[in-house]
């Protein structure tokens, strides 16, 4: 049989991860995060069935040789910083930040529509005011008309068509909620090996569970970690590995994937 490829998409999946220690041993399963979409690229190569042209059926008639490659592009997973640090051997620091009132940031608006980070990442809802001079004096700008605020990310943007002009200074006053800043440093590896379990909800309330027995999980693009967020967005790719720890002749070492009936490789 010639090589063939299948493309399967899984949506709304939760991920669980078991780091591989060695010798067929995995660490206990933990929640890893959530994935909006997982794109599976499944390629079958050189499937050969050995059979005799005549006579009785023997053991050799049951032999099939194949090589299968499975790649997973994991789109926009939301992954806990703790699990990210654990998987890729990073150093995680958690710093509690107390609530604060009336913090004032001066922002030079070089260009309208440009995003500017405030000095806090968790802004208290409805606590923002913006002025053209310091100390909450002068002309006050209107949120939603002159500027917008992303309260979860601590981002300010001046709106085109509002009263704020390019190359002007604005003074943004806000309160911030108590939160924890996460910082990950000193990644010691760019790939992690382990067992990946994917649980997803399909149509009509059905739930499918896929287990990728042994995979290599790699970072596959740039990402930014935002202070105080419980989850971050990060692109990854997983490659299913041959599991040479399997010695049972009735089990495959090269295709170690099992799960719901919507998954197929041929």
Long-range contacts: 56-64, Cβ < 8 Å, 24+? none
Inform me whether the pLDDT recorded for 152 exceeds 60. Answer: yes
**Count H helices, E strands: the chain?**
1, 18
Residue range 107-139, pLDDT digits in tens: 999 999 999 989 988 899 999 999 999 999 999
* 60-74, 159-173, 236-250: range with lowest mean pLDDT: 60-74
Share of the chain above pLDDT 90, in %: 26
Q: Any idea what DSSP says for residue 142? A: -
* 32-46, 47-61, 103-117: range with lowest mean pLDDT: 47-61
pLDDT, residue 42, reads: 64
Q: Mean pLDDT in the chain?
A: 75
From the number of C-beta atoms within 10 Å of its C-beta (0-12, 13-18, 19+), residue 36 rates as middle
Q: Do residues 247 and 234 lie in contact, with contact meaning Cβ atoms separated by under 8 Å? A: no
Q: Identify the band that residue 58 occupies on the pLDDT scale cut at 50, 70 and 90.
A: low
Which has more pLDDT, 118 or 179?
Answer: 118
- The sheet carrying 155-158 orders its strands as 115-117, 155-158, 147-150
- The top-scoring range by mean pLDDT among 17-21, 47-51, 81-85, 109-113 is 109-113
Q: Has this prediction a pTM greater than 0.75?
A: no
């Amino acid at each position: 049989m010639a090589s063939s490829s299948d493309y399967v998409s899984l949506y709304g999946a939760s991920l669980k991860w078991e780091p591989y220690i060695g010798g067929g041993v995995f660490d206990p399963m933990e929640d890893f995060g959530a994935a909006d979409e997982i794109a599976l690229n499944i390629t079958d190569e050189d499937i050969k069935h050995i059979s005799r042209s005549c006579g009785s059926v023997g053991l050799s008639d049951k032999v099939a040789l194949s090589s299968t490659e499975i790649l997973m592009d994991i789109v926009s997973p939301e992954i806990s910083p703790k699990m990210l640090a654990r998987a890729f051997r990073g150093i995680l620091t958690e710093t509690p930040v107390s609530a604060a009132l009336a913090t004032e940031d001066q922002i030079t608006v070089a260009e309208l529509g440009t995003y500017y980070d405030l000095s806090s990442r968790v802004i208290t809802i409805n606590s923002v005011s913006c002025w053209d001079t310091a100390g909450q004096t002068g002309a006050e700008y209107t949120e939603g008309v002159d500027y917008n605020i992303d309260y979860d990310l601590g981002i300010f943007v001046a709106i085109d068509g509002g009263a704020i002009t390019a190359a002007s200074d604005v003074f943004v006053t806000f309160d911030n909620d108590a939160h924890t800043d996460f910082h990950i440093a000193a990644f010691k590896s760019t790939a992690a090996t382990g067992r990946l379990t994917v649980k997803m909800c399909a149509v009509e309330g059905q739930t499918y569970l896929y287990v990728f027995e042994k995979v290599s999980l790699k970072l596959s693009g740039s990402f930014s970690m935002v202070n105080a967020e419980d989850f971050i967005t990060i692109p990854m790719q997983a490659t299913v590995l041959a599991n040479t720890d399997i010695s049972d002749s009735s089990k495959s070492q090269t295709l170690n994937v099992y799960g719901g009936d919507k998954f197929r490789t041929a």
